[in-house]
Structure 1
């Protein structure tokens, strides 16, 4: 039988994290990895029973690029339709 209280005692490594990590972030020990879980129905990730927040969002630059590509595609489609209809001769 798994002793979850014992696993929780050693969830983090004892060593200091790398200096470039944000303040307060700690490395997970090998024992602590046992606290990670996945709900197979939703594929959501959990840490010690609490859902981890994940975002699927584009950054501002990526949104601007997607908008530019969409506009360019619509303009090119309009030009090709005009050529096919004989409205544009070049």
Structure 2
């Protein structure tokens, strides 16, 4: 049976109301709309109506800087504590 893709695209959203705590503009997917979801067989990348879905977020510049500072601080404290444990550092 051949699919009527124009009909599926017209009815991709559910006519039901969404929960009030959802962001504005977010709609539920209808059963017809579920046919527009796809997975690439080789990469397992998720697609919606032929367009790849972004499923990752990058940290902002400030967040990356803070993560770097915390990582460096943790490494320095670890080296100091190992130095104390083996007797290289006496404070």
Fold in common (TM above 0.5) = yes
Compare 43-52 and 65-74 and name the one that shifted more: 65-74
Query: What is the CA deviation profile of residues 25-65 of structure 1, one whole-angstrom value per residue up to 9, with x for unaligned ones?
Result: 11101221111011122222111111112224346668635
Number of residue pairs matched?
A: 89
TM-score, normalised via structure 1 length: 0.70
Against the structure 1 CA distance between its residues 63 and 29, is the aligned structure 2 distance closer, same or farther, given a 3 Å change threshold?
A: farther
Matched, 1:38 2:61: no
TM-score, normalised via structure 2 length: 0.69
- Alignment correspondent of 1:67: 69
Kept in 2, the 8 Å contact 1:83–1:89? The answer is: no
> Take 2:73 and 2:26, find their aligned partners in 1: how far apart are those partners?
42
> Take 1:30 and 1:63, find their aligned partners in 2: how far apart are those partners?
44
- In structure 2, the gaps of 5 or more residues are none
- Alignment correspondent of 1:81: 83
- Alignment correspondent of 2:12: 11
- In structure 1, the gaps of 5 or more residues are none
